[in-house]
Structure 1
Amino acid sequence: MSSTFHGLETSLRGLRTHQSALNTTGHNISNASTPGYSRQRVNFSQTEPYPAAARNRPQVPGQMGTGVEAGTVQRVRESFLDLQFRGENTKSGYWSARSDALQKMEEVMNEPSDHGLAKTMDRFWQSLQDLVVNPEDSGARSVVRQRGVALAETFNYLSTSLNSIRDDFKTQIDVTTKEINSIAEQINDINRQISEIEPHGYLPNDLYDKRDGLVDRLSELANVKVTAVGSGGQALDIAEGKYTVELLDSNGNSIGNLVDGSTLSTNGLSITDSDGNGEFDQFALGGATGALDQLGQGKLKGLLESHGFESGGSVKGIYPDMLADLDEMAYRFVSAFNTQHQAGNDLNGANGGNFFAFTSAVDATTFAGAASKLTLDNNISGANGLSNIAASMDGNPGDGSNALNLADVKDQTLAFNTGNATFQSYFEGAIGEMAVSAQQANRLVENSNTLKQSVEERRQSVSGVSLDEEMTKMMQFQHAYNAAARNITSIDEMLDRIINGMGRVGR
């Protein structure tokens, strides 16, 4: 036979359980605007019925329910959406870094415009055309020299500006690497806290949220994979455990652990210059090293590809490639122009010397630094420089045929490393490639951000707090609480009748 107070205990359990549900609902409402918060719910479960199946059970017809209890307080989250979001976040970080780099390059190159290299070169060619008409005119010669100065300074400016931005990327790479290591340390600290709580049968939901927020941020910086490791002890089946975070290569294979959930330790990531030549060439993760080509997508890879890194004995990247194009253009142009200038005669009938020069020696194979070192030759920039401009071919001061030949250098086919091309077509090709790359990066940034936003909206539909829904639940739990309280009152009246009203007959 059940206890006289069976009904009181059943209703009391209802009171306590729905009070717990109301407290959780209040927690959700309070954190409705908290970034990264996942709504929580109380998992109701029936308590064991009476009597339990046993040899000495009382002989009563059937089992009687004993009420409800709050089994666990669990956050509502779908891991598949987290996986999708992090994948798109990785792509977004990578393409955003490339897009920003190309946007800065476009601002420096400033093509097409009235202030870019192409326009400056056109003005230089035009000044030579004007010199053809008036080869003895000092004004026309002065304009040629000044346009030559402007051309050299434009090459200098472009090279210096691109190198300055490239140095900024080096700083960003260092900052991003430190941020990755910092996030890894924070995830490991949270792993340690979770490992101390879960074995006691609790679910540290707020720690889960904080850890997932860090993983989301980490996924933007590098391509990572998360694997859960159990905490042991009395941990619940739905406990999420400790995270092991692996760094992935470009093929999705593991490079090594940033965070080891089993040992509660981290491995520091670094980008290094192993041969000391000033160029990044490998990464180090814990005790392992590898080529930078291996790194998967993410902001760090985008920054590395923008800054450039050494691979296969050469430096490749967005900025090194453009700087190499500028250096080769400057060197090929100077070589062709000086050769033609030397074939002519100045006002005094002497053979022409160099028109352009470099402030220091330039390697004829790599052309490194040619654009930044370009200047006018002392023969032209000196006090008698105007008369040293070789505009004629036969020593006649009134002949401007060599000035015409100098102007025709722009249409001369030069032997560039990538093939034969005129100076103008080569430059247009470099600018066109930059524009196409920028367009592609911008398009993929927009695509990845759209997909990321779509997944985030779906994730919020599952994990986000809806105030309307929480208000509805609050009313539901409140009514259930009131009903349980009213049931207690009813049972109390029944017991009062038994205790205080029975046995008074006939008195």
Structure 2
Amino acid sequence: MSLMANLYVGASGMTTSQNALNTTAHNMSNVDTDGYVRQQVSQGTRAYQTLERRIEQIGWKQIGTGVNYNNCKQVRSDFLDLSYRRESGRSAFYDVSLKALEEIEDQLQEMDGSEFAQSINNLWVSVQELAKDPCSAVTQSSFVTRANEFITRAKSVYDGLVAYQENMDSTVKGMCDTINKYGDRIRELNEKIVDIESGKQERANDLRDERNLLLDQLAEYGKIDYQEDVFGNVAVLFEGSTFVTSDHVNHLGVDTTLESSAGYATPYWEYAAKTVDNKDGTKTVVSIDGAHVYDLTQNISTVTNTDIGKLRSVLLARGDHNATYHDITEDTEFYNRNISQSVIMNVQAEFDQMVHNIMTSINDIMEAAESNPAFIDGTVGNAKDFTLFVCANEQDKLNYDISKDKPAGSILTGFTIKNSQINPKLVQEPTLFTFRTIDGNEDNTTTTLLKEAFTKEQYTLNPNVTSRNSFITYYNSLVSQVANSGDVYNSIKEAQEQTVSAVEAAREQIIGVSSDEEMEFMIMFQNAYNASSRYINVVSEMLEHLVNTLGA
């Protein structure tokens, strides 16, 4: 090969070294960029030039023609990417669950600076004082006052749980909009990547970095599966359903009217929903049967990957309605499938059950009392007019009277926290129920029954719990249950964070940019550039010497 051709060998070395320096500089400038993956230069030899071929020779006589800049590749681990996205989604699931439990603990322990447990204790003390002196106007008034305090604080706690439930519900649509936004952007990046890489000349590495970062972020919202085709398109499944294809994104919609009587948001797949056409060209969704994104009756399990994603966690923690004691039935399967997995609904139902039992027990005892001034003159009616707790409106009262003869879990409204209040007659005149027998003596039987009602251990928190509580210990058991669940979720969350950190560290070892390492590469490529430059200078001097010698 001529000396003139050797100039191209040196030129190829300088060009390749310059490209490698540019890549290294690009890595250095993106050390702190989220989602950036370090790039490596792939170099190769250009085609050799064959000068002579002989059968008796072991090898042909060839000379090199220089170096070639083959590719600028990303360094990733598909296995670590998959592990990181799965474990980060699981970590987000338990993080939301833990925060919900912590909020519930706050709602139960404190209410306007006073613990709700104190109102139960005050009511119990008032019953004890009433038993000491049943006919005293002071003890009777204290009993009614403490009962009013009890139901007022119970309403406040329950309303706090409902408010938090509604607050969680308000985040559902935003999450679905974010998921849709990620899907749209992934599809746009698919198109750009295919356009750039279709010529087989370069790689759209920065666009791939953005797409991979979106997959990382999408994995926090739910379980995803993805696959890249030969053209560079990434198809994404979200919760087992097609989400992103090469040319389309199946959006998530949010229903707040069709199937939830409480008006809570239900995510669904828009393409699978049943719609009708309107005159103005729009469509109205009439049914989302078969279009649900989640089946929230599934058991939460790491084995089946049903504990992945913050959206599922929010929907589970929130539940689908404001639970009452009606939701705690003897049907354990129904309870476990529909109530127990929602931390808010579970506490709502157990709390309402406690208040319901206290109210109905006191009412039943007062209704069964043998003496009442009303029976003396016959002008008031029957003893039910003097029950301590009453329903807030006539329809609820009718439902309550009927539901007493119905089995647990009746669809009737019944006597719940939300529809109950202190009897207005007793609020105006606390001594109306005199706790005096018809012969004028103290009604100790009724007050004794009231005391026994508070101390009798016959109430369980839910069908899965066997230990029984009294009214005095029920609330403490409820708070302890929430605290224990919080400890469990906290342990799982901490373990999950360690798993995510370990996987992220392993992945960072591969995809992360090390400034020290890049400096070494920069020095190496700079020296290679200088060597190529020196090589050209040597060839140039040789050519000059030959030209000058031959010319002489």
- Are 1:301 and 2:312 an aligned pair? yes
In 2: Cα distance, 1:229 partner to 1:393 partner? 87
SS of 1:200's equivalent in the other structure is: coil
SS of 1:245's equivalent in the other structure is: strand
CA apart distance, 1:111? 7.6
Encode CA deviations 1:6-52: one digit per residue, 9 max, x unaligned.
Answer: 22111111101001111111111111111111111111111111128
In 2: Cα distance, 1:376 partner to 1:490 partner? 104
Q: Which amino acid aligns with 2:431?
A: S
- Are 1:381 and 2:409 an aligned pair? no
**8 A contact 2:454–2:471 mirrored in 1:** yes
SS of 2:3's equivalent in the other structure is: coil
Q: Which amino acid aligns with 1:292?
A: D
CA apart distance, 1:114? 8.8
Encode CA deviations 1:380-427: one digit per residue, 9 max, x unaligned.
Answer: 111x2x212443456546555533332221123557774875334544
**8 A contact 2:182–2:218 mirrored in 1:** yes
Instruction: Provide the residue aligned with 2:330 in structure 1.
Output: none
Q: Which of 221, 245, 257 is the matching residue for 2:242? A: 257
Instruction: Provide the residue aligned with 2:327 in structure 1.
Output: none
TM-score (structure 2 length as normaliser): 0.80
In 2: Cα distance, 1:143 partner to 1:276 partner? 42
In 2: Cα distance, 1:86 partner to 1:370 partner? 44
**8 A contact 1:111–1:431 mirrored in 2:** no
How do 1:45-444 residues align onto structure 2 when only pairs under 5 Å count?
A: 45-51=44-50, 62-110=61-109, 115-201=114-200, 202-231=202-231, 241-248=232-239, 254=240, 256-261=241-246, 264-272=247-255, 274-278=258-262, 283-284=268-269, 286-287=271-272, 289-290=291-292, 292-293=295-296, 296=306, 297-309=308-320, 315-316=338-339, 317-344=342-369, 345=371, 353-360=386-393, 361=396, 364=403, 365=410, 370-382=416-428, 384=429, 386-393=430-437, 396=440, 398=442, 400-412=444-456, 418=463, 422-444=470-492
Q: Which of 508, 515, 518 is the matching residue for 1:467? A: 515
In 1: Cα distance, 2:162 partner to 2:244 partner? 35
In 1: Cα distance, 2:40 partner to 2:414 partner? 64
TM-score (structure 1 length as normaliser): 0.87
In 2: Cα distance, 1:78 partner to 1:114 partner? 53
**8 A contact 2:161–2:348 mirrored in 1:** yes
Which piece of structure 1 moves more, 102-111 or 114-123? 114-123
Q: Which amino acid aligns with 1:302?
A: S
SS of 1:371's equivalent in the other structure is: coil
In 1: Cα distance, 2:357 partner to 2:434 partner? 20
Relative distance call for 1:458 and 1:11 in structure 2 (3 A) is same
In 2: Cα distance, 1:98 partner to 1:271 partner? 22
Relative distance call for 1:285 and 1:395 in structure 2 (3 A) is farther
Instruction: Provide the residue aligned with 1:236 in structure 2.
Output: none
**8 A contact 2:356–2:415 mirrored in 1:** no
Relative distance call for 1:25 and 1:52 in structure 2 (3 A) is farther
Instruction: Provide the residue aligned with 2:325 in structure 1.
Output: none
Instruction: Provide the residue aligned with 1:238 in structure 2.
Output: none
In 2: Cα distance, 1:28 partner to 1:184 partner? 28
**8 A contact 2:373–2:438 mirrored in 1:** no
In 1: Cα distance, 2:177 partner to 2:51 partner? 59
Q: Which amino acid aligns with 2:388?
A: F
Unaligned runs of 5+ in 2: 273-289, 299-304, 322-332, 377-381, 404-409
Relative distance call for 1:52 and 1:30 in structure 2 (3 A) is farther
Residue correspondences, number = 480
Which piece of structure 1 moves more, 8-17 or 282-291? 282-291
- Identical-pair percentage: 24
CA apart distance, 1:281? 6.5
CA RMSD after TM alignment: 2.9
Instruction: Provide the residue aligned with 1:28 in structure 2.
Output: 27
Unaligned runs of 5+ in 1: 232-240, 249-253
Relative distance call for 1:41 and 1:330 in structure 2 (3 A) is same
SS of 2:33's equivalent in the other structure is: coil
Relative distance call for 1:280 and 1:174 in structure 2 (3 A) is closer
Which piece of structure 1 moves more, 319-328 or 340-349? 340-349
